[in-house]
Each structure stands twice: as C-alpha cells, then as structure tokens.
A and B are shown apart, each in its own frame.
Chain A
Amino acid sequence: MSIEKNEEFRPKIVAFCCNWCSYAGADLAGSSRLTYPADVKIIRVPCSCRVNPMFILRAFEKGADGVIMCGCHPGDCHYSTGNYYARRRMTLLFSMLDFIGVENGRTRVEWVSAAEGVKFSATMNEFVEKIYSLGKNVRLEDLRCRS
C-alpha cells in the first residue's frame, strides 16, 4: 500500500464504439472540443454486435479497469438489429462479471448517436469518474485471473 501511495492511479479504459453512431459521436465530441480523460481508448468496430464478450473479458484479463461499449440507439442500428443482440449479450455477460471478480460498475453499455457528441463526452466523463471511485481492478489480480 505504501509503495502505491505515491503513484497516481490512472485507469485503463477500453471503449468499443460502433462505426456508424458512437464512433461518429466520439468524432463529434472531438471536433466540438468536448473533453474527457485520456484514460479512454477507443476501438472501432463495425457494429456493437461485433463485440464478443470474450473481448471484454480479455481486456480485464490484460489489466483494464473499465470497459464501456457504445452503439446506436435501439431501433437506429445501421444493421437494423445489431444493437439488440449486443444489448442481450452484454446483459448476460454483465450479470456474471461480479462472480468472476469484476465489479458491476466497471462495465457499461451506452447508446450514443452520431449527433450526440455532448452525450459521448458526458458519458465518458461519468464512466471515468466511476472507475476512479472504484480504483484499480485488484480483485481479478487477487483471484490470479489477471495476466
């Protein structure tokens, strides 16, 4: 504890964003200069339904402190139904995460349209704040699930 005390905690946060809505929303946040912490790194996927629960587990395994997935609003998916699949998959995954050592607050699904730069930035700020309040994801480490 005393060793880590001086080292400022900077979380690693992975954001999966679908190409059509939320990645564009992130671009809009950028061009509108709506800031959010640099801890968030975005991975572009064609659709939120491309996000395999394995990717999220992999992120935690590799040391992520939070993972957020953003897609088009329900009903607005570029591929008609992709975000519905994503929503179901994530609900199922999230319900089991606590069991394997990842607190509930470390994952989140949010719908952000291409026009919602403000929402994207606000969501990221909120999420990062939440992760800061949860601190480092040590439970996985304790459980030796982290490589």
Chain B
Amino acid sequence: MQRIGVFVCHCGSNIAATVDVKKVVEMALLEPGVVHAEDYQYMCSEAGQAKIAAAIREKHLTGIVVCSCSPRMHETTFRKAAERAGLNPYMVEIANIREHCSWIHKDMEEATKKAVILARAAIAKVNLNTPLKPGESRVTKRALVIGGGIAGIQTALDIADAGYEVDIVEKTPSIGGRMSQLDKTFPTLDCSACILTPKMVEAAAHEKIKIYTYSEVEKVSGFVGDFTVDIRKKARSVDMDKCTGCGVCQEKCPSRKTPSEFNRGLNTRSAIYTPFAQAIPNVPVIDREHCIKFQTGKCGVCAKVCQAGAIDYGQKDEIVTEKYGAIVVATGFDTIKLDNYDEYAYSQSKDVITSLELERIMNAAGPTKGHLERLSDGKAPKEMVFIQCVGSRCSDNRGKSYCSKICCMYTAKHAMLIRDKYPDVNVTVFYIDVRTPGKNFDEFYRRAVEQYGVNYIKGQVGKVAPQPDGRLLVQASDLLDNRQIKMEADMVVLATAIEPNPDVRKIATMLTASIDTNNFLTEAHAKLRPVESPTAGIFLSGVCQGPKDIPETVEQAGAAAVKAIGLLAKDKLLTNPCTAQSDILLCNGCSTCANVCPYGAITYEDKEVNDHGIRETRRVAVVNSALCQGCGACTVACPSGAMDLQGFSNRQIIAEVDAICR
C-alpha cells in the first residue's frame, strides 16, 4: 500500500477563487492510500516545495499528488522537489485543476466537485505508480539548420561561433532567402543586400559551417541528441569544385524564357543560372526542366563555353546521411496566391502587383533596373495606390485569419521611397488600421505622412477595375469622411498576406514537430518557450513560427541558436523512462507490436521462461528502451496483453477511468 500525500495549490486566486481548496484537501483524505493532505498558496514556490519535501520525509510518503496547474507547466518542478526529498520523481502525479478546471468554470460548487474528481483520479493512478529510472543517451555535437535565409544564416553563425559544427540545408541554389529579394529595409532604409551579403559571406567562410544549397531534407529519424538525417543534394549539373563563377554559360545559354523566381516571375532567366549576382555559392545550376540539352538532347552550349570544364550533364542526385544533436527549422515564408482576390484585378492587369514584386521593381538588379514603371507599357506612374491587408485578417476562408505584421511598415517604406525618388508621383494608402509597434516604427510611418505627404485613407478597397485606357479605377471607402471614393491610378500595390513556406508541413511531419492550422510551427510555450518546438531537440527560427520582420527574425534566430547550443553543450541526456515493456510470460511472439512501432524499438529474442514450473525457450518481444519513445501504440496492438507502458500502464489508466466514473 502506498503512503500518498496530496498538495493542493491555491495559485494565488487563480485556483482558490473558483475551487474550494480546503474541500479538496478534506475529500482527498478520504481516498485510499492518502495519509497526508494540505493546501498552500503557491505550491511551486520555494516554501511550497519545502512543504512537500517535509511531508515526504516526515510522513514517509511513497507517492504524491499535486493539484495545481497543468503538468506541462510544473510537473518537472515537483518531480525535482520530490527527488531532492528522496522520493522517486516518477511517483509524482499532477491533477490539473487550473487550466482544466478553475479557469474554465465559474461556479464554485461545480468547479470544486470537478477538482475533487480530478484529484481522485490522480490519487488512483499514483496508487499504482512504480519508481522509474531514466536511461542516458549521447549527444551528437552538430546542428542542422533547415533554410538558408536570414533566420537560418544567423542561427548557424551563432551556433558556429560557440564552437559547434552546423550544416545549413537550403532548397534553392543560393542562400539569402527573402531578404536577398528586398531592396531597402525599414525602419532605417538600409540597402538589404548591403547588410545581408556580409552575413552570407561570413557563413560561407566559417570553418564550422557547411552549406548544402540546392538540397532538401529527405528523411529524419532518431530523437533529441541523436537525429539521423538524409539530405538530397539535387544534381546541379555543374561541378562545384571546378566552376569559377565567370558567368559565361549564363550569357550564352540559348534557353532564356524561364520566369525568374528571384524576380518573382517579372522577367526571365536562362536555364543555367545563379539566382542573383551576390549568390552564395556563386556556382550556377542547370534547371533541367527548361534546359534544351536535357529536353531535346541537342544543345550543350554551356559545356562548350565553359573554360573550366565544370558542366556535368551526367551528375546525379546524391543522398548524404548525417547525424545531428539539434535541428533548427528556418523555412521562412512566401506571399499567398491571390486567386481568391480577383476583385483587385491582380490576374487581369500587369499593373496590379504585390509588394514583393514592387521590391524587385525598385531594386537596381530587378526587371526594370530600379526604375519605377508600369509593367504593361513601361510608362512612369503618376498615381499610385497601396491596398493594405490583402488576404490578412480574413476570417472567411479566402485568406488568412492573422495579421501579417510586416505590411504596414513596408508599405510606409515603399510610399516614402517613391515620394523621395519621384516627388511628382502621388501615393495613396488605403488602410484598415496602421499597426506599427516597434522601436522607431511609428515615427517612421508618421514621417511618410508628415514629411513625404503620403495620403493615408482609412477604408478598404472594394474593387479595382481596369479601364480601357489601361488605367485602374480604384473603388474604395473613406470611412472618416463617410464617402465612397472612385479614383484612377496607374499602379496598384497589394500588401499581400504572408504564409509559411508550403514545404514546412512536409518537414514538420518528418520532424514530428507540431504545426498549427495556418502551417506555422507551434512553440513549446507561447510566452516562455517561444523558440522551441514541443518536440525535444527541434528549434524554431524566423517566420516559420509566426509573422516577423527582420529585426525580430534575427533576435529569434539568436535565441534558437542559444537553445541549440544549450543542448549541444551537454554530453549526455536523460531519456524518458516511460517506455513500453513486454511481459515475457504473456508474450506469444506474434510480431504485431513490432509492426506498429514507429521507432523500430521492438525486436524478438529467444528467451528461456519459467511458466508455472515449465521451463522452455520462447520467442518473445524485447523493447530497446533507448529507442522507445513511449507512444503506446504497441500496448494496444498486443493481442495477448503482454505489452504495457510504464508510467501510463493499463491498470493506471483504468484506475483513472474508474475514479472519474465513480
């Protein structure tokens, strides 16, 4: 029989205001095995933990139940406290009477009743708990960063500077990401390339950093400290070692009609290409889908002109398998497709563009060499309209429910830059709200209005109608003047919502990292663990976790690096002892459990068993507890009931069910 102590936390008034904690104590004492029960204002405080420790020692407790907040908050705290007092930490159970009770119920009597039942279930479980001992696993002192944008680069640099090896895997032919596509950055109007390129060079030159461009993560196995990752290095068709980056192949390539990804499809590129001038590595790739040689067999111009003999049409995809202790996801974002917003005529007029396209138009290396002009006829615009919140803040399934966060600022930036460079162009911004929290951000927006005379109108645009003369009739609300505006514009720029890179879902599945309905990766705690995934060893950097501007992305990239370093600095990790175990007397060696195990943790061995005096050798399941992650799939699959999960055993869960239904 266990000797159980029950500790009921008030959590200030968080619990005590809705749950009668004294009553919970009183009722707990009636439960079997309970020899001690008390309540305290803050169980997680030093004093609260001391009370637990004292009770364990004085009452010789063999198990405890803490009725408090979610185990996801303080289970570790209380387990450590118990351990310090000499109790096995796995003899601690939490009854969640805050998130699952006091915070969601208003009626005191009802909440108290429920709290009593939750405590009762936890007590019933502890009665069946057994002491468990975690094992140990090693840590591979190398990190993987998925994505080579500013987030990935910064994380990799920070980890490498701490002395650990880092690999960056980047899908496109060059690192640099979205930031390399931007012209200027807010709120200081720095040239984006000028501040990004040095970081790219630093990463490429860093002795601890290895960059795989034109590569994708193909498979991930293992767990925190010991991941095994297959990386597919797509065939570049160019020998990285021989290529000198002279660029002659790109000049001579006869296939020039492929829309340039880097310039958002506003102009074209050759089939052999580097995405942009500062690309790292400065080695082109052959886009086989558009290469004449690969499509028809007749061409080979690039091989002929290459002095270094670097062109290799026979190159094949290569799979590299590496081991990592930590993985950082930095997969970034893209703008949403505008198919659902045809009222803005994006698909009907070339002069309706997204803000990211405007970045390329404003950039000296862009399709118009930095001249602001209409893509339809090359004329300079006189009247420009910016529409905010296109696809953001939509709860109607057409767009995204969230605020994309960066649009208000970049629109102010665009408006300002245009008014600065082309003072005769009128700029009108239609906004719902202007959201500019951040250091020097609101001042920046106000400068656009006060210094540059940008016309901000509160009200959304309802329709953009192309006119026969090529201009665009913008029909909008002016909510402050309470009128409907119909104005003609030469160009319309849509502040298009951003969304996580579509590939992230595939990556999250490989990493078993949680992801929300908007495809943003979920953090372990919204406030306190913002750069960690709930899956141990996976860290989040940049927009893959939520919309962010560059300063925030860099901050978070550093934070993710620190968390990864904290893991890599350890030599050994304690493993979760809540693993499956097979009862050799019941096991009949049918292999059902091994078939459902996602980790290959179950093998079969011939073991000698003593079944009621009969000694015989049987083929039975054996769980490798270093590999087992404790999901429990095998326990349900097992037809003979031999497989059970420590810490969540059949008897324990049934005891909880019984306690709740009693």
A35, B631: Cβ atoms closer than 8 Å = no
Q: How many chain B residues touch A (Cβ–Cβ < 8 Å)?
A: 55
Q: Give the CA-CA distance A12 to B661 in the complex, in Å.
A: 6
Q: Does residue A91 face the partner (Cβ distance < 8 Å to B)?
A: no
Question: Are A78's CB and B106's CB within 8 A?
Answer: no
Binary contact readout A121-139 vs B (1 if CB under 8 angstroms, 0 otherwise): 1000000000000000000
Asked whether A51 and B516 contact (CB < 8 A) given A35-B105, A41-B660, A46-B631, the answer is: no
Give the CA-CA distance A81 to B596 in the complex, in Å: 9
Q: Are A115 and B522 in contact (CB under 8 A)?
A: yes
B609 touches A (CB below 8 Å): no
B304 to chain A, nearest CB (A): 48
Q: Are A42 and B100 in contact (CB under 8 A)?
A: yes
- Whether B648 and A24, one on each chain, are in contact in the complex, defined by CB atoms closer than 8 angstroms, is no
A46 touching B636 in the complex, CB below 8 Å, given contacts A64-B661, A78-B535 = no
From residue A82, how far is it (CB to closest CB) to chain B in Å? 5
CA distance A52 to B637 in the complex (A): 9
Q: Which residues of A contact B516 (CB under 8 A)?
A: 113-116
CB proximity of A28 to chain B, nearest CB, Å: 8
A62:B101 contact, CB within 8 angstroms: no
User: How far does the Cβ of A46 sit from chain B's closest Cβ, in whole Å?
Assistant: 5
Of residues 50 through 83 on chain A, the ones whose CB sits less than 8 Å from some CB of chain B are: 50-55, 58-59, 62-64, 72, 75-82
Interface membership of A102, Cβ < 8 A: no
- Tell me the minimal C-beta distance from A94 to chain B in angstroms: 15
User: How close is A103's CB to chain B, nearest CB, in angstroms?
Assistant: 17
B645 touches A27 (CB 8 A): no
B598 contacts the other chain (CB 8 A): yes
Whether B656 pairs with A52 at a CB distance below 8 angstroms is: no
Bound complex: CA A47 to CA B631 (Å): 5
Chain B residue at minimum C-beta to C-beta distance from A61:
B661
Return the CB mask of A14-32 against B: 1 if under 8 Å, else 0.
Answer: 1000001101101111110
Query: Cβ of B636 and Cβ of A51 under 8 Å apart?
Result: yes
- How many A residues touch the partner, as a band? 35 or more
A49 touches B514 (CB 8 A): no
CB-based contact B636/A89 at 8 Å: yes
CA distance A36 to B515 in the complex (A): 24
- Interface contact B648-A46, CB-CB below 8 Å: yes
Q: Does B534 contact A (CB under 8 A)?
A: yes
B105:A38 contact, CB within 8 angstroms: yes
Q: Is the CB of B629 within 8 A of A79?
A: yes
Contacts of A51 in B (CB 8 A): 636
List A contacts of B654 (CB < 8 A): 54-55, 58
Interface membership of B117, Cβ < 8 A: yes
Interface membership of B96, Cβ < 8 A: yes
A96 at the interface (CB under 8 A from B): no
Are B534 and A59 in touch, CB under 8 angstroms?
A: no
A47 contact from B71, B99, B107, B633, Cβ within 8 A: B633
Whether B522 pairs with A59 at a CB distance below 8 angstroms is: no
* Pairwise interchain contact B517-A62, C-beta atoms closer than 8 A: no
Hey, which chain B residues are within 8 Å of A54, CB to CB? 650, 654
Residue among B522, B578, B632 with max Cβ neighbours from chain A (10 Å): B632
| Docked pose: A91 CA to B306 CA in angstroms | 62
Which residues of chain B come closer than 8 Å to A42, judged between CB atoms? 96, 100
Asked if B98 lies at the interface with its beta carbon under 8 angstroms from chain A, I say yes
Contacting pair B598 A14 (CB below 8 A): no
Instruction: State the Cβ distance, B20 to closest chain A Cβ, in Å.
Output: 14
B660 and A43 contacting across the interface, CB-CB below 8 Å: yes
Verify A47–B632 contact, CB threshold 8 A.
yes
Known A50-B648, A77-B512; judge A113-B661 contact (CB<8 A).
no
The residue among A54, A79, A113 with the most chain B CB atoms within 10 A of its own CB is A79
Q: Report whether B636 and A30 are in contact in the complex, using a CB–CB cutoff of 8 Å.
A: no
Closest chain-B Cβ to A107's Cβ sits at a distance in Å of 14
**Are B633 and A30 within 8 A (Cβ)?**
no
Contact (Cβ within 8 A) B118 A41: yes
A44 at the interface (CB under 8 A from B): yes
| Residues of the A chain whose Cβ atoms lie less than 8 Å from the Cβ of B508 | 76
Q: Please, which residue of chain A has its CB at the minimum distance from the CB of B629?
A: A79
Q: Which residues of B contact A50 (CB under 8 A)?
A: 631-633, 635-636, 645, 648, 653
A43-B657 CB under 8 A given contacts A30-B104, A62-B662, A78-B535: yes
Identify the stretch in B108-116, B205-213, B325-333, B347-355 within 8 Å (CB) of chain A at 4 or more residues: B108-116
Q: Is the CB of A35 within 8 A of B662?
A: no
Closest to B516 in A: A115
Interface on B for A, CB 8 Å cutoff? 70-72, 96, 98-101, 103-107, 110-111, 113-114, 117-118, 121, 505, 508-509, 512, 514-517, 520, 522, 526, 534-535, 578, 596, 598, 629-633, 635-637, 645, 648, 650, 653-654, 656-658, 660-662
For the complex of A and B, the 8 pairs showing the least CB-CB separation, nearest first, are A30-B99, A50-B632, A115-B516, A62-B661, A79-B631, A49-B633, A47-B631, A27-B99
Known: A43-B657, A50-B631. 11 other contacts (CB 8 A): A24-B72, A26-B99, A28-B526, A43-B660, A49-B596, A50-B645, A59-B660, A62-B658, A62-B661, A64-B661, A114-B514
Which positions in A face B, CB cutoff 8 Å?
12, 14, 20-21, 23-24, 26-31, 33-36, 38, 41-47, 49-55, 58-59, 62-64, 72, 75-82, 85, 89, 113-116, 121
Q: Can you give 30 A-B contacts (C-beta < 8 A)?
A: A14-B657, A20-B514, A20-B535, A21-B514, A30-B98, A35-B104, A42-B96, A43-B121, A43-B653, A43-B660, A46-B648, A49-B631, A49-B636, A51-B636, A52-B636, A52-B650, A52-B653, A54-B650, A59-B657, A59-B661, A62-B657, A76-B509, A76-B515, A79-B512, A79-B631, A80-B512, A115-B516, A115-B517, A116-B516, A121-B104
